[in-house]
Amino acid sequence: MWSGDCTTTPDELADAVASTALDVLCITDHSTVAGARTLAAEGSLGCRLVIGQEQRAPDGELIGLFLDDRIPPGPRSARECALAIKERGGLVYVPHPFDPLRHRLLSGSLDQLVAEGLVDLIETRNGKTSLEHLNSTAADFAVMHGLAAGAGSDAHVPDAVGAAYVEMPDFADGDAASFLRAVAAGRVIGHHFDPARAWRSRVVPSTSAERG
């Protein structure tokens, strides 16, 4: 509900987590951490929660994980976004890096961030990327550069939650470094999930005053 491209309610998300038996969920709404912080405070999802944010820059999108506060909005570069994530003690996660139908990072920007050591995880399976060779290219890139391989459902509807995930060892709660080590030792699993969505009337509470 807090993300501009989604209307999934907390109750729907809790049901999706229960049905998929996920142990850990990363919530990465666009341009805000307000929803993730609210649900973390309530403890209502029935799983451990990592607070994150997806931020769009002129040269592509990045995700920050383990954030306590919001990455400021504005026409900043992907490099500035990565630095803002690092300043907050977070992990820099590159979503759908080679999918031409998505707002992926420009190749020059991705190479620059990797060269500067500003990337922690590369998404090697995205639930909305339909062509398998694009995920394979991301997996090869992660191996080539010694980066942890991540996976994301990219769930904009409840049914898509859990389409892609990582089976990984346990990690210390709230510890980004421990999480990163666990992901690096994990196994990426998942499939494409982006069927046509039937129109339905939706009325959800407003979050316009909670964009922080």
Domain boundaries, the chain: 10-190
Q: Mean pLDDT in the chain?
A: 93
HSE-up of residue 143 (Cα within 13 Å, Cβ side): 6
Asked if 16 and 161 count as a contact pair (C-beta separation under 8 A), the reply is yes
- 197 by Cβ neighbours in 10 Å (0-12 / 13-18 / 19+) ranks as exposed
pLDDT tens track for 45-100: 999 999 999 999 999 999 999 999 999 888 789 999 999 999 999 999 999 999 99
In percent, how much of the chain has pLDDT > 70? 93
Say if pTM beats, i.e. exceeds, 0.75. Answer: yes
Round the CA-based radius of gyration of the chain to a whole number and report it.
16
The secondary element (H helix, E strand) that includes residue 62 is strand 60-65
24-27 sheet: strands from edge to edge: 24-27, 48-57, 60-65, 91-94, 121-126, 148-152
Can you tell me the distance from the alpha carbon of 31 to that of 42, in angstroms, rounded to the nearest whole number? 21
Pair 128, 118: CB distance under 8 Å:
no
Average pLDDT of the residues in 7-12: 91
Whether 209 shows a pLDDT value over 80: the answer reads: no
Superfamily of domain 10-190: Metal-dependent hydrolases (3.20.20.140)
Q: What is the pLDDT of residues 158-185, one digit of tens each?
A: 999 999 999 999 999 999 999 999 999 9
In this structure, the number of other CB atoms found within 10 A of the CB of residue 115 comes to 10
CA distance 55 to 57: 7
Q: Which residue has the tokens 């709404």?
A: 29
Q: How far apart are CA 208 and CA 31, in angstroms?
A: 12
